[in-house]
Structure 1
Amino acid sequence: MPRPRRVASVPRSPRRLARDRHGRGMRSAVTGPHLEPIRTRLDEFDFTIATTAAYLRGLWPELEGVVFEVAQGPADAIHGDHVDRWKVFHDERRIVFFRLPIVRFLRLQDGEEREEKLLIESCVFRAIAELLGKDPWELAPGRYRHL
């Protein structure tokens, strides 16, 4: 038996059709209204870069105005003997971090989020050290002293 066709009284835009499927209304967040939204691995990567850069900006006034960007990883980052994990543009005062080379070469097991975060932070430290012409250990000398 054929299904009856609905006739829409108001023309719908293509965007509205994608969000309002089968006339059920707008979708809600997966976590519901009382829980905070789920953070993805991409969000965690961006957050780690942003917080590490903000920490170093607080220590080094020379970083004022430096732009930090995250890219997937362009083809020109692949060389014969290595893969670039970041690119420093000294003239533009800009650093671009390539997410895929940083994350894919980790070789971590499940549940090792702390080590992933430390590796991302070390990439930020090394890229900023390259921009400033310093050793990465000079950027935050008191941070790595054990009490």
Structure 2
Amino acid sequence: MPRSRRVASEPRSPRRLARDRHGRGLRSAVTGPHLPMLHNRLDEFELIVGTTAAYLRGLWPELDGVVFEVAQGPAEAIHDDHVDRWKVFHDERRIVFYRLPIVRFLRLQEGEEREEKLLIESCVFRAIADLLGKDPWELAPGRYRHL
């Protein structure tokens, strides 16, 4: 017995076909509706850069309008004697952080997430200090004062 063919009222794009297979709707998350979404290393890196930048924006109004970007690590970052961990574009008021050079040179053991977070934060502080023309320690003077 031949199957009946469904006639589409609107043409479907190839992207929609991959997401809406056989008319069953969009796919759900792998973790299900009751579990938190999975995070990968890139998400964690972007979260640390974003929260540190937001903290410094609250302290320094000069950072309004500055764009913070994360890139993997382009070939332009590799030089003969060093590898750039970030690039500051003063004219565009933009900072690009290269994730792989920052994280790969750590040589951390498993379970040392705190040290990785501190290194990423220090890179954000140093890049913003470069943009503002200040010393990194001047950006948040009360933050490192022991009680």
- Which amino acid in 1 is paired with 2:144? Y
Instruction: State how 1:78-117 maps to structure 2 within 5 Å.
Output: 78-117=78-117
2:145 counterpart SS class: coil
Q: Deviations over 1:86-142 (max 9, x none)?
A: 001111111111111111111111111111111110000000011111111111111
Q: Give the percent of matched residue pairs that are identical in Structure 1 and Structure 2.
A: 85
Q: 1:10 to 1:109 in 2, by over 3 A?
A: farther
Q: Aligned residues, how many? A: 144
Q: Deviations over 1:56-90 (max 9, x none)?
A: 01111111111111111111111111000000111
Query: In the alignment, which residue of structure 1 is the partner of 2:72?
Result: 72
Instruction: Measure the CA separation in 1 of the matches of 2:90 and 2:29.
Output: 42
1:27 Cα shift? Answer: 2.8
CA RMSD of aligned residues (A): 2.2
Unaligned regions of 5+ residues in structure 2, if any? none
Q: 1:141 to 1:22 in 2, by over 3 A?
A: same
- Which amino acid in 2 is paired with 1:96? V
1:52 Cα shift? Answer: 0.3
Q: 1:116 to 1:19 in 2, by over 3 A?
A: same
Instruction: Measure the CA separation in 2 of the matches of 1:74 and 1:24.
Output: 40
Q: 1:90 to 1:57 in 2, by over 3 A?
A: same
Q: Which of structure 1's runs of 4+ aligned residues deviate more than 2 A? A: 5-27
Q: Does 1:143 align with 2:143?
A: yes
Please report the TM-score for the alignment, with normalisation by the length of structure 2.
0.86
1:46 Cα shift? Answer: 0.5
Instruction: Measure the CA separation in 2 of the matches of 1:16 and 1:6.
Output: 23
Instruction: Measure the CA separation in 2 of the matches of 1:6 and 1:110.
Output: 56
1:68 counterpart SS class: strand
Unaligned regions of 5+ residues in structure 1, if any? none
Please report the TM-score for the alignment, with normalisation by the length of structure 1.
0.86
1:80 counterpart SS class: coil
